[in-house]
């Protein structure tokens, strides 16, 4: 058998293992799943499983890495700004693209976000976004003198935590709100702030007094 055929077979086998593993995660707590369960579901022998993964933790880690890489590859924060200003069309387009991604990979995200035996995914998801956000936006903020370092430390954490929570809520509600509407609301929150989106006006005098303190 030539190398290409061998490689293609390995790719197909790993894809089958991962797909059936996700099915199991949607049904059972990760802690209760065994390698035997995974091999049986994928219709392979345990020996074949161990040719590709050390154990179920190795499989979970690699599945997370691949899923998060797919999500962050198209995350390019610098593209949403021009001369220090947000480009609305690009930001809305990105938000819509992300909801497209979450919808396309719904099984993966449901398994990772809602399986009680997996506690690390939300943290790893947040860290993958923070790493790229900080790398690109900090360069941009320094070049444009946009904000102080503490704000640039706090803001990405606030945004990423909110976005992950929002995606979880969207799935729990069976995506009953269109991704287009969700993308527009994300844009409003990102550009106007949560209180203004809710319709609360900001007391300008009070804001001025706060700046003086």
**pLDDT for position 107:** 97
What are the angstrom distances between the C-alpha of 196 and each of 200, 201, 210?
5, 6, 18
Q: Specify the CATH number of the domain 62-212.
A: 1.10.357
pLDDT digits over 188-202, tens only?
887 777 656 556 666
Task: Note the pTM of the prediction, 2 decimals.
Answer: 0.83
What are the angstrom distances between the C-alpha of 18 and each of 11, 12, 49, 204, 213?
11, 10, 11, 54, 56
Two domains, one topology: 3-53 and 62-212: no
**pLDDT for position 194:** 64
For domain 3-53, the CATH superfamily is: Homeodomain-like (1.10.10.60)
- Residue spans per domain, the chain: 3-53, 62-212
> Percent of the chain having pLDDT more than 70?
81
pLDDT, average across residues 102-131: 94
């Amino acid at each position: 058998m030539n190398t290409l055929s061998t490689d293609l077979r390995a790719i197909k086998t790993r894809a089958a293992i991962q797909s059936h593993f996700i099915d199991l995660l949607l049904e059972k707590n990760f802690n209760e799943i065994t390698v035997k369960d995974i091999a049986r579901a994928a219709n392979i022998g345990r020996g074949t499983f161990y040719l590709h993964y050390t154990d179920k933790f190795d499989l979970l880690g690699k599945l997370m890495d691949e899923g998060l890489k797919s999500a962050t590859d198209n995350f390019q924060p610098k593209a949403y700004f021009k001369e220090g200003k947000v480009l609305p069309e690009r930001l809305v387009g990105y938000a819509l693209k992300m909801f497209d991604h979450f919808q396309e990979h719904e099984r993966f995200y449901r398994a990772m976000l809602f399986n009680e035996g997996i506690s690390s995914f939300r943290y790893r998801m947040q860290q993958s976004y923070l790493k790229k956000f900080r790398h690109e936006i900090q360069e941009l903020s320094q070049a444009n003198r946009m904000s102080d370092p503490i704000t640039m430390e706090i803001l990405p954490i606030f945004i990423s935590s909110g976005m992950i929570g929002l995606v979880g809520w969207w799935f729990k509600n069976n995506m009953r709100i269109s991704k287009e509407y969700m993308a527009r609301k994300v844009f409003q929150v990102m550009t106007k702030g949560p209180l203004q989106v809710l319709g609360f006006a900001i007391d300008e005098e009070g804001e001025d007094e706060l700046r003086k303190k």
